[in-house]
Amino acid sequence: MVSEQNVLEPETRVDGHGDFLYRYALSRVRDSGAAEDLVQETFLAALKSRENFTGQSSERTWLVGILKHKIIDYFRKVSRERPSSDMEAGEDFTERFFDKKGMWKSDTAPSEWQMDPAAVMEQKELAKTLEDCMAKLPARLSHAFQLVEMDEIKTDEVCKVLNITATNLWVMLYRARMSLKRCLETNWFHKSSEKEK
Amino acid sequence: MLNCQKATKLLSESLDRPLPLYQRMLLRMHVWMCRFCSRFEKQLLFMRQIFRHYEKQLSKDHPSPDSASLSPEARARIKKVLQEEESSSG
């Protein structure tokens, strides 16, 4: 017997949490269609396992937990869709940053960053810059980086998700970090120091 | 001895696993002597902090007027799928 309460519940949840889950998914997968699918899968999974929600955390926290698992599944799926030669996609920085002796070139060598956490992390504009810099990465590098740095998953688990070796992963993370560092330097930390003048 | 290119690779790796002692010693020597790689090391660690903080902020969600949201079509579609699932499992 389906009570009125049960019929209303799924819709109420979508209204209450749909936009939030969508925003989270979009930030992680950068594709509105994929983000919509992930939100749908999350609500479906929540519906099927609602007995598992014990109320110890908020409903939103529970839903975001489900969504994060779906996002990891998505990364797993994407990594298997392409041939392994794509695995080490991303720029080879050798020539851009280092001279023939392997030393930093003067124009792209690390500059001093203003690294006061309060000054940097409280600024809302930083989120946009981080997203823009991540969007520049090839998808596979972005996924590897996110699993390690945002989901904080251990190396061997990440390798299983992405179906790569640890050596592949080190290379991908190195390229992601070099690219992001440079992007942040150019678009955030240099601009900050200009503001102070 | 390490050059900066090798040092940056090792610095990146050291974020995710402990390096063998010999590599660690070579790396510390190089970083001690090279101001660029010294900065790079600090920047890698700071980036880690920034991105972890970013993820936590995403989980909390502070929407602004121009934040993304589900399109009306997507919202309706999701509700419909949920209703179908609800009624099929009775």
Q: Which of B37, B67, B82 sits opposite A23 (nearest CB)?
A: B67
Contact B50 A19 (CB under 8 A): no
Query: What's this model's pTM, rounded to 2 decimal places?
Result: 0.89
CA A10, A67, B80: angle at the middle one, nearest 5? 30
Q: What is the DSSP string of A127-190?
A: HHHHHHHHHTS-HHHHHHHHHHHTS---HHHHHHHHT--HHHHHHHHHHHHHHHHHHHIIIIIH
Query: Are A161 and A147 in contact, with CB atoms under 8 Å apart?
Result: yes
Q: Which residues contact A167 (CB under 8 A, 6 or more apart)?
A: none
Which residue, A67, A42, A41, A62, is CA-closest to A52? A62
CB contacts, 8 Å: A117 with chain B? 49, 53
pLDDT at position A145 is 98
Asked if B42's CB is within 8 angstroms of A10's CB, the reply is: no
Average pLDDT taken over every residue of chain A: 86
Mark yes or no for CB contact B3/A101 under 8 Å: yes
Q: What is the pLDDT of residues B5-27, one digit of tens each?
A: 999 999 999 999 999 999 999 99
Q: Say how far apart CA A108 and CA A129 lie, in whole Å.
A: 19
pLDDT grade, residue A194 (50/70/90)? Answer: low
Answer whether A46 touches B (CB < 8 Å).
no
CA closest to A62 among chain B residues: B59
Report chain B residues whose CB lies below 8 A from the CB of A47.
82, 85-86
Which residues in chain B have their CB less than 8 angstroms from residue A121's CB? Answer: 49-50, 53
Residue numbers of chain B with a pLDDT score lower than 70: 61-62, 64-66, 90
> What CA–CA distances, in Å, run from A132 to A62, A172, B6, B65?
28, 19, 28, 19
For residue A4, give Cα distances in angstroms to A11, A13, A193.
12, 15, 59
Chain A residues 112-151 with CB within 8 Å of chain B: 112-113, 115, 117, 120-121, 124, 126-127, 130, 148-151
